[in-house]
Structure 1
Amino acid sequence: MGNQSSAVVVEKRIKEIGKNFFNIRASFKIKGLINIGTHMSLIRLSNGKYLVIDTVPLDEELKKEIDELTNNGVDIEAVVATHPFHTLAFPDFYKNYSSASYYGTPRHIRNQKDIPWAGNIMDHLNKWSPDVEMRIPAGAEFVAPVPESTNHFNSVWVFSPVAKTIHVDDTINYFDNPSLLFKVLGKKSGQMDFHPSMTNGGLNKTETAPQLFKEWLENLLHDWDFDNACCAHVGVKIGGAHALVNETLTNAQGVLDKLAKKHEGKEEEHTHH
Structure 2
Amino acid sequence: MSEEIVQIGHDFWNIRGKFKIAGLLNVGTQASLIRLPSGRFIFLDSYTLTPEMLRKVYSLTKGGKAVEAILNLHPFHTVHCEAMSMLFPKAKLYGSSRHKDLFPYLPWEDAPVESPEVAELYGSVLDFSLPRGVDYISDNQNVHFSSLLAYHKPSGALHVDDTLTYFDWPKPLGWIMPSPRIAFHPTLGKALEKRPGAAADFTGWAQELGQKWAETRVVCAAHSSSTALVPGSFPQKIEAALGRVSGKLAKHRDKYG
Check whether TM > 0.5. Answer: yes
Distance 2:174 2:227 in 1: 18
Cα distance per residue 1:127-152 (max 9 Å; x no partner): 2012111111101111x31211x210
Q: TM-score, normalised by structure 1?
A: 0.84
1:217 aligns to 2:220 (yes or no): no
Residue 175 of structure 1, CA deviation: 1.3
Q: Distance in 2 between matches of 1:233 and 1:147?
A: 19
Question: CA 1:87–1:230 in 2, change beyond 3 Å: closer, same or farther?
Answer: same
Q: Is the 8 A contact 2:20 2:26 kept in 1?
A: yes
Cα RMSD of the aligned pairs, angstroms, is: 2.4
1:202 to 169, 180, 191: 191
Distance 1:250 1:152 in 2: 22
In 2, the alpha carbon distance for the partners of 1:179 and 1:79 equals 35
- The answer on whether the counterparts of 1:207 and 1:264 sit within 8 Å (CA) in structure 2 is no
How many positions carry a matched residue from both structures?
Answer: 252
Rate the CA distance shift 1:29–1:40 in 2: closer, same or farther, 3 A: same
Where has structure 1 moved over 4 Å in runs of 4 or more? Answer: none
Query: What percentage of aligned pairs have identical amino acids?
Result: 29
Contact 1:21 1:41 in 2 (8 A): yes
1:240 and 2:230 equivalent? yes
Q: Contact (CA 8 Å) 1:207, 1:261: kept in 2 or not? A: no
Q: Does 2:23 align with 1:32?
A: yes
Q: How much does 1:176 deviate? A: 2.6
Task: Give the TM-score normalised by the residue count of structure 2.
Answer: 0.89
Which aligned pairs between 1:38-57 and structure 2 lie closer than 5 A? 38-57=29-48
Structure with the greater alpha carbon radius of gyration: 1
* CA deviation after TM superposition for structure 1 residue 57, in Å: 2.0
Unaligned runs of 5+ in 1: 1-10, 268-273
Pair 1:255–1:188, CA change in 2 (3 A): closer
Residue 103 (str. 1) matches residue 94 (str. 2) = yes
SS in 2 for 1:61: helix
The match for 1:174 is 166
For 1:204, give the aligned amino acid: E
**1:253–1:12 distance in 2 versus 1, CA, 3 Å:** closer
